[in-house]
Structure 1
Amino acid sequence: MKVIGLTGGTGSGKGVVSQCLNEAGAAVIDADLVAHEIIKKGKPAYNELVEYFGTNILQEDGEIFRRKLGEIVFREKGKLEFLNRCTHKYIAQEIARRIQEAKELGEAKCIIIDAPLLIEAGLEKICDAIWVVYAHEEVRTRRVMQRDGITYETAKARIGNQKSWAEYESYAQEVIDNSTTIDDVQAQVTSLLEKYTG
């Protein structure tokens, strides 16, 4: 059973592509959801983050306020680098566990690791191929503004903090263009699944 890394910049539409893949019979592991789980109170990453950023990143219930943490790290690259270093090892461990689980079940056509920071987390090492989701920068900016309820400038800053398209493309065995319609995306997904699992 092949393991495919799915990545792309914020607002590229990885979620839509993941949903199409899931509906087509792939087992999708969402690295963002894993990242949310590994920073919950009582988890090892939680303690490291609170020690570094302080208690001002906590909500009243003691959980990490992800939006506040996001605002801090997207303004300062050094803090973003610490967040990534801290969380990536725990994310990789949990994803490896879920891959093993999916392989043991043996029901999926393939396993998709949906990870915006696939390369940064070193997850490409466990993938048979990397598929990159592409969308024009203005499309991405509008999507991020709408999704996160943030300003144009903040959305552009988030996109600017990520790799360039040329960097993403250099890792890709396949590119999925998500600048157009859902029907077009579904057709691309179907074709790639046939190529990699057929």
Structure 2
Amino acid sequence: MKIGLTGGIACGKSTVAEMLVERGAILIDADRIAREVVEPGTPLLQEVAAAFGQDVLHPDGSLNRKRLGEIVFADEAARKRLEGLLHPEIRATMRKRMEEAEKQQPDRLVIVDVPLLFESGLQAMFDEVLVVAVPPDKQLERLMARDGLTREQAELRLAAQMPIERKRELADAVIDNSGDRSDTERQVEAFVKEKGPA
């Protein structure tokens, strides 16, 4: 089974992904792929620099994510332009890795961690979508604490995503990560059992 894993920023998706892997699932991480496609020397990194200016590169030629983030989170048109550059390559790589995983280990769950799954309209790529959620106020607190952001910066990042409550409604399954770790573990365990051998 191919499961799309998503949630809001700072909802604990990585924690849940880890728990699924511990239970035998294969994890494909869209964020990791997103970093790979813009590594120094890649044609895509050159395109990003051409579109957003050389100051989105560090002196060593690697992508200055913080600088790029400042540009695209403050300007929706810029964000859309960046997505237009990156998304086709990221999706193609994701598809390829999903196919490889299914061929090599057809009896295991394939979990694809995609932060903006609904925003990017990728539901059809998966058999089911699993959402990791916490209440919006907790999400804001966690984001500020995790990334050292001001309330205003954190709210801008949240505003760039679909509200977590809407993601809950669209999900095939939800893991509520607002309790303690063992509570989340129990929900993950139940999910894996229901989906068959991971």
TM-score (norm 1): 0.93
1:143 shift after superposition: 1.8
Q: Which residue identity lines up with residue 10 of structure 2 in the other structure?
A: G
1:172 shift after superposition: 0.5
Q: Distance in 1 between matches of 2:64 and 2:93?
A: 22
SS where residue 39 of structure 1 aligns? coil
Q: What does residue 85 of structure 2 align with?
A: 86
1:23 shift after superposition: 0.6
Q: What does residue 11 of structure 2 align with?
A: 12
Q: What does residue 30 of structure 2 align with?
A: 31
1:135 shift after superposition: 0.6
Q: Distance in 2 between matches of 1:142 and 1:167?
A: 19
Q: What does residue 96 of structure 1 align with?
A: 95
Q: What does residue 128 of structure 2 align with?
A: 129
CA gap 1:154/1:184 in 2 versus in 1, 3 angstroms: same
1:178 is the counterpart of 2:177: yes
* RMSD value, Cα: 1.5
Q: 1:26–1:108: 8 Å Cα contact kept in structure 2? A: no
**1:131-170 to 2 correspondence within 5 Å?**
131-170=130-169
Q: Distance in 1 between matches of 2:82 and 2:194?
A: 36
Q: Distance in 1 between matches of 2:138 and 2:18?
A: 19
SS where residue 4 of structure 1 aligns? strand
1:154 shift after superposition: 0.8
Instruction: Structure 2: state its 5+ residue gaps.
Output: none
Q: Which residue identity lines up with residue 167 of structure 2 in the other structure?
A: Y
Q: Which residue identity lines up with residue 156 of structure 2 in the other structure?
A: A
Q: Distance in 1 between matches of 2:92 and 2:173?
A: 26
TM-score (norm 2): 0.93
May I ask how many residue pairs the two structures share in their alignment?
Answer: 197
1:42 is the counterpart of 2:67: no
Q: Distance in 2 between matches of 1:85 and 1:178?
A: 32
Structure 1 runs of 4+ with >6 Å offset:
none
Q: 2:116–2:161: 8 Å Cα contact kept in structure 1? A: no
1:52 shift after superposition: 0.8
Q: Distance in 1 between matches of 2:143 and 2:164?
A: 17
Deviations 1:137-179 (A, max 9, x none): 2221222122222212211211122112343123200111011
Q: Distance in 1 between matches of 2:165 and 2:137?
A: 16
